[in-house]
Structure 1
């Protein structure tokens, strides 16, 4: 009887310690993001010196630092704002097309992200973007953590839905023109065309099961361990430091200010506004 009592006491102690650990487990991960500059056909006419000058001016957009605060279910991803090395100011133009604070709740399948577009605040409240991960056995060491490779696919339009480029606008114009040409097609064939035309982006991620949370930087999540490195297109995000259970309690709260919209709605808003900006600018030039 005494042996049974001792066994039950040990089980109860283990259960309580595990429960407390689950509730209190939290951490911070610090990331460094670097993107290469793609100047397209315009860059082909530039000298290397000119390219270097452009890269120096855009350094604040190409190189960024972030902090990911997390617990078992929630995370908050925030950019650390750095003053421009040349002007001593923040990048006010680029601010309109960069990610705001990203709150993620993996249990509730919820994303809440604040965005500011030309002085107007928006609050994007939507579901998390699903990523089809293919997990392999390849591994490497990142700091003190053993990481495993995973390859995923995500619709390119959903990768950085908050951003804008003139190339995106040209593709949007081309899509509208193509849609107008297919109005006479049957509904079924239109659906088939839309599915076939979805552009996908490949993601390469490295995650560590030693930190058993499904979080990661930016849009990336859903693996059985914290994502410490991820590459997609011309951008690589690398974790430089992780702090588990810091002395100070971490507060993770979803943004709550701004006009509440879905991701697609927000993308449509900025596309429409930039289309108006382009059309008005071209209209003035023709006068």
Structure 2
């Protein structure tokens, strides 16, 4: 396990309660690509060379570094800035956004509100909504993350429909024989029609989250939209994605202004999810017709 680099370990109550208290945590996010590659490998049109290139690209897309700046009540979580790699414009940028990247995630634990700015195909959104309520179960189990003793907590949550990381590859082997026969009949009568690989994906309704929080740092903040525990969350695992703190600095001389973004069309999380679902349907339709190839382009409605 990667050790946390501790720049300051002055854990006095007065230190945390100081008016100008601020900290910064760096998180490494890694998402398993097994489901995605299993779906791709079933496509006969993809050569071994193409699959290898996809695996390399997937790995880069699913391994990210984020920075969390926080004080006693609020935080800003943002992906570490990098130069855009080739192919990260258009549909690639949308996929990045749908996998937890892009934009600035602002959380205010006092007001119980979050604000996220997202840009997709040149259209800016400003998602404003109430922080999700986690029914955390404190397990009592502990482990060391770097120099800190952390405690385990779990919660069952409703999955986000706009986060592509939540999709699972459907196991066709578990379907009954009737469905298999029906599927074969469809294949036989529509050989000329190009199918879409997204037909093999499904979205679970709920997911179990495991978090490890540090009471030594008594702020109820964490990466992404995770919060509400009696200590900074240093690790989160949802079964596919692991977010682990790799560096922690407390009360650095360099202060960061913790405030939300203000640009973009204001929408709720539900409205944003509906927009993403609509665009995903457009992508499916454009890639399911004969001769569509790998076309993934569409326009955002203004």
**Interval of TM-score (by shorter of Structure 1 and Structure 2):** 0.7 to 0.9
CA distance in 2, matches of 1:167, 1:145: 33
Partner of 2:247: 241
CA distance in 1, matches of 2:48, 2:216: 44
For 1:1-287, what aligned pairs fall within 5 Å after superposition? 18=14, 21-37=17-33, 38=35, 39-43=37-41, 52-83=52-83, 88-89=85-86, 91-92=88-89, 93-97=91-95, 98=97, 99=100, 100-156=103-159, 158=160, 161-164=161-164, 199-282=205-288
The size of the alignment, in residue pairs, is 237
* Segment of structure 1 superposing worse, 55-64 or 91-100: 91-100
Once the 2 structures are TM-superposed, how far is the Cα of residue 153 of structure 1 from its aligned partner?
A: 1.1
Q: Which moved more, 1:135-144 or 1:39-48?
A: 39-48
Q: 1:216 to 1:48 in 2, by over 3 A?
A: farther
Bigger Cα displacement from structure 2, 206-215 vs 51-60 = 51-60
What RMSD in Å do the two structures reach over aligned CA positions?
3.0
Distance 1:47 1:262, change over 3 A: same
* Pairwise CA distance, 1:229: 0.7
Task: Please tell me whether Structure 1 or Structure 2 has the larger radius of gyration of its CA atoms.
Answer: 1
Contact kept? 1:83, 1:89, Cα under 8 Å:
no
Q: Cα deviation per residue 1:87-106 (whole Å; 9 max; x = unaligned)?
A: x4472233224242100001
| Change over 3 Å in CA distance of 1:54–1:19 after alignment to 2 | closer
SS of 1:132's partner is coil
Deviation of the 1:152 alpha carbon: 1.1
Q: Cα gap change, 1:52/1:152 in structure 2, threshold over 3 Å: closer, same or farther?
A: farther
Once the two structures are TM-superposed, the CA of residue 62 in structure 1 deviates from its matched residue by 1.1
- Post-superposition CA distance 1:212-266 (Å, at most 9, x none): 1111111211110001011113110100011001101221010100000000101
Structure 1 residue 164: deviation in Å? Answer: 4.2
* Structure 1 residues 140 and 50: alpha-carbon distance in aligned structure 2, compared to 1, 3 A threshold: farther
| Contact 2:15–2:21 (CA under 8 A) maintained in structure 1 | no
**19-28 vs 29-38, greater mean Cα deviation:** 19-28
CA distance in 2, matches of 1:20, 1:153: 30
1:73-129 CA-partner distances (Å, limit 9, x unpaired)? 000000013347xxx447223322424210000110101000111110000000011
Q: Secondary structure at the match of 2:256?
A: coil
- Name the SS for the 1:56 alignment partner: helix
Could you tell me the TM-score, scaled by structure 2's length? 0.70
Q: Pick 1 or 2: higher relative contact order, CA cutoff 8 A, min separation 6.
A: 2
TM-score normalised per structure 1 = 0.73
If each structure's helix is expressed as a fraction of its own residues, which one has the higher value?
A: 1
